[in-house]
Copies of this chain bind each other. A is one copy, B any other.
Amino acid sequence: MQQNYSSRLLEETVDEFATLPGIGRKTALRLVLHLLKQDDKTVEHFGNTILRMKAEIKSCKTCHNISDSEVCNICADPYRDKETICVVESIRDVMSVENTQQYSGVYHVLGGIISPMDGIGPADLTLGSLEEKVKKGACSEIILALSTTMEGDTTNFYIYRRLKDFQVTISTLARGVAIGDDLEYADEVTLGRSILNRTAFEDTFKK
C-alpha cells in the first residue's frame, strides 16, 4: 500500500525506522507520530543518545564485548576468574549468561558464528585473539557456550580442532531436557542425548 505522506521529512523518518529489524512501515509510522507528539527536548535527547552511542561505544580489547572504556567492566573486575573463558557468539549472549548469576569467569565474544550459508567463515570471527590468549597460557578452561544449532556445532568443532593441542580444558554447555519441560513434549534427539549423558544424582542437584 502506497502511503501518501504530506511531509517529506515524515516520510524520510518513517523510512529510517522501517530499516530496523521487525519494524514495518505501519509500525514505523506509529513510532514516528509518537515521537512527533513528544516535546522538543525528549526527541532531541532520543536522537542525540543514538548518535552518542554510535560515536562513543567501544569494543573491549580483551574480550570484544561492548564497553564504555578500553576494557569492559567484566574484564576489569578483579574478582572475576580470568583463567576461565566463556566463548559466546554475541554481546547478547554475554547478557544471557550474566543473568544466570552462575558464572564468575570472563568472556570472549566471537562476533558471529561460522555459517557458510551467510558467507561467514572463521576469518570473520575473533578466533585469532582467542587462540592468542590460549597460546600465552593465560587460561585453563574454555567453555564453548554457542547455540545448539548446526552452525553452533560447526563452530564448536572448528574451535575444538584449533585449540585441542594446547594445554587447556575445552568444555561445552550441558545439553538435555530444559528445566520445567514436560518429558512428553521433549524432542527425541534431546531426550536421547540426555539419557546417554545422564548425570550422577548428586551432580544434578549440586549447589
What is the interface of chain A, defined by CB distance below 8 A to chain B? 1-10, 12-13, 16, 19-23, 27, 29-36, 40, 43-57, 60, 65-68, 72-74, 90-92, 94-95, 98-99
| Identical copies of this chain, number | 2
Smallest Cβ-Cβ distance to A94: which chain B residue: B6
Instruction: Let me know if B10 and A21 touch, CB within 8 A.
Output: no
Given A7-B66, A31-B21, A48-B47; A13-B53 close (CB under 8 Å): yes
Smallest Cβ-Cβ distance to A51: which chain B residue: B47
* Most B CB within 10 A of own CB, among A9, A32, A55, A98: A9
Contacts of A47 on B, CB cut-off 8 Å? 47-48, 50-51, 54
Given A9-B52, A50-B50; A66-B16 close (CB under 8 Å): no
CB distance from A69 to the nearest CB of B (A): 9
Contacts of A92 on B, CB cut-off 8 Å? 29, 33
Smallest Cβ-Cβ distance to A10: which chain B residue: B66
Instruction: Let me know if B13 and A68 touch, CB within 8 A.
Output: no
CB distance from A13 to the nearest CB of B (A): 4
CB distance from A9 to the nearest CB of B (A): 5
- Please report the C-alpha to C-alpha distance between residue A52 and residue B47 in the assembled complex, in whole angstroms: 9
CB distance from A37 to the nearest CB of B (A): 9
Instruction: Let me know if A48 and B49 touch, CB within 8 A.
Output: no
Identify 30 residue pairs between A and B in the complex whose beta-carbon atoms are under 8 Å apart, listed by A's number.
A2-B99, A3-B95, A4-B95, A4-B99, A6-B60, A6-B67, A6-B72, A6-B95, A7-B57, A7-B72, A9-B53, A9-B57, A10-B53, A12-B49, A13-B49, A13-B50, A13-B53, A16-B49, A20-B35, A22-B30, A32-B53, A33-B90, A33-B91, A35-B50, A35-B53, A35-B54, A40-B54, A43-B50, A43-B54, A46-B50
